[in-house]
Amino acid sequence: MNDSLTARAADVFLAAFGQPATIRVQAPGRVNLIGEHTDYNGGLVLPCAIGYRTVIVARPRADRRMRVVAADYDDAIDEYALDAPIERLAAPMWANYVRGVVHELLQREPSGHSLPGMDMVIAGDVPQGAGLSSSASLSVAVCTLFSTLPDHPGLGPIEAALVAQRAENDFVGCKCGNMDQISSACGVQDHALLIDCRSLQVSPVPIPAGAAIMIVESHITRGLVDSAYNTRRAQCEQAARHFGVPALRDVDLATLAEKGDGLDPVALRRARHVVSENARVVAAAEALAAGDLERMGELMAASHASMRDDFEITVPAIDRLVDIVKDAIGDAGGVRMTGGGFGGCVVALVPEALVEVARLALARDYRAPNGAQATVHVCRAAAGAGSL
């Protein structure tokens, strides 16, 4: 836990509001170890919460006003009343994530309960724009804050995750799946989470002792992500219709081979990625639980190849990053692109003894098109959202 983050938020709170905060909560970011573009197909994912977090310190108000300070944006403040319609702002975007959750919570107010006003300060160390879900971390942290109030019905972790997802979908306008919020709300220390995105069942899977998670930022600006995402989602839906099922989650590899002939070749490749990726997630959870990092490495390599060849969402620099890390760690661990694609990050599961070897190889052999070196974050799986 980054105590300095909490202390910084507390100092900003005292300076802004003249009295100390009485509530402290946090919610982590996440990284997905395997299971890409399976969530919106009703499938399986294997992410974990990470030790980069959003912290909120706050104090309830006697009236129905919100005063929200962003310590990471020069102490910018957003202020509004809970008794008036809450509107989406053109900018700043951070304020909309808070407003969206507050708006969702207001819709859920039971008779006889009113959401109180709040003075609050937000501070975070989740790397921005790195695909580590800083937005989900913020949204889940706001849900967690209001859930701590004794006279306000608390939200369970899954419920909080779904409120945060709806806020992003309907208020902010980001049509994300539910993996990011569930990861942040339900994280378990030193465990990955096997999440069934259809049933919302979450099963913790232990990460072997001595294994570190490396997240490597490529510094490739992701272009055309929204249109490419929408196109692939439409292709997956086309494939599901071809097989006569609600989603590709309901297709197995045997059915794909038997009944895939009449499908458009591109849609067939997209379907093959999703169907094979779901199978890899199940196998990866078994490998992790058995402490088999070599098998995990094989599955991560197959996942990356599927994203590159069948789903076509990697770029040459990302492929280069994966090759550099894989050459450095050999069969001792695994590495793959993580996230939506077309840039962003790769994730590696690496024995701690090889972290520095991989870091030196990246410093020597990788440069982004703009000349930047890769940025490396090393972390362990962390606990989910809660009070501090």
- Residues recognised as catalytic: 180
Residue 139 labeled ligand binder: no
Residue 294 labeled ligand binder: no
Residue 229 labeled ligand binder: yes
Closest CA to 208 of 124, 334, 123: 334
Which residue type occupies 89? L
Residue 133 labeled ligand binder: yes
Closest CA to 185 of 144, 241, 239: 144
Residue 131 labeled ligand binder: yes
Residue 35 labeled ligand binder: no
Residue 36 labeled ligand binder: yes
Residue 145 labeled ligand binder: no
**Reduced 3-state DSSP string for 288-339:** HHCCCHHHHHHHHHHHHHHHHHCCCCCCHHHHHHHHHHHHHHHHHCEEEEEC
Residue 303 labeled ligand binder: no
Residue 248 labeled ligand binder: no
Q: What DSSP letter does each residue of 109-162 carry, written as one string?
A: PPTT--PPPEEEEEEE-SPTTSSS-HHHHHHHHHHHHHHT-TTSPPPPHHHHHH
Residue 135 labeled ligand binder: yes
- In terms of Cβ atoms closer than 10 Å to its own Cβ (0-12, 13-18, 19+), residue 353 is exposed
Residue 170 labeled ligand binder: no
Q: What tokens appear for 332 in the block?
A: 């001792």
Q: How many distinct helices (H) and strands (E) make up the chain?
A: 11, 12
Instruction: Pick out the residues of the known binding site for substrate.
Output: 36-39, 229
Instruction: Pick out the residues of the known binding site for ATP.
Output: 129-135
Instruction: Pick out the residues of the known binding site.
Output: 36-39, 129-135, 168, 229
Instruction: Pick out the residues of the known binding site for Mg(2+).
Output: 135, 168
